[in-house]
Amino acid sequence: MILNKEEFFTKLHNKVGSSTSDEDIAFLEDMTDTYNDLEKRSNGDGVNWEQRYHELDESWKAKYKHRFFSGSDVNNPNMRMANSDDNGKDAESITISDLFTEVNK
């Protein structure tokens, strides 16, 4: 059976009763610390992961739309290299002889 916080501590209180022995006090402290730590971990230390997911998702969508509609190749370094290595020739001015060189043996 899974207990909520109140039920858990009520069961502990019923088990220990009004005992004030050092062992029982240490046991209650350990149970309280353990329960609080597990509760803190399950809540993700207060981080709203669903909200962070949606913010990140929207951010990526906005970046993609901007890149797509701007036509910019800012994120593609290979495109910049290809454009800078063409030596001023466009595709229509390249001939077959430009592509192949004859090697004398």
DSSP for 27-56 reads HHHHHHHHHHHHHHHHTGGG--HHHHHHHH
pLDDT number for residue 30: 93
Across the chain, what does the average pLDDT equal? 79
Give the pLDDT mean for 73-100: 63
Q: Residues 14-57: pLDDT tens digits?
A: 888 888 899 989 999 999 999 888 888 777 766 777 888 999 99
Q: What angle do CA 40, 42, 43 make, to 5 degrees?
A: 65
Within 8 A by CB and 6+ apart from 5, the residues are 35, 39
pLDDT number for residue 3: 86
Pick from 53, 1, 9: which is nearest to 33 by CA?
9
pLDDT number for residue 72: 59
Q: Which helix (H) or strand (E) segment is 23 a member of?
A: helix 22-42
pLDDT number for residue 85: 54
Contact between residue 5 and residue 35 where contact means Cβ atoms under 8 Å apart = yes
pLDDT number for residue 98: 78
Q: What is the pTM of this model?
A: 0.40
pLDDT number for residue 22: 92
Contact between residue 16 and residue 28 where contact means Cβ atoms under 8 Å apart = yes
User: Which own/partner contact pairs does 37-45 have at CB distance under 8 Å and 24+ positions apart?
Assistant: 39/5
What residue ranges do the domains of the chain occupy? 1-58
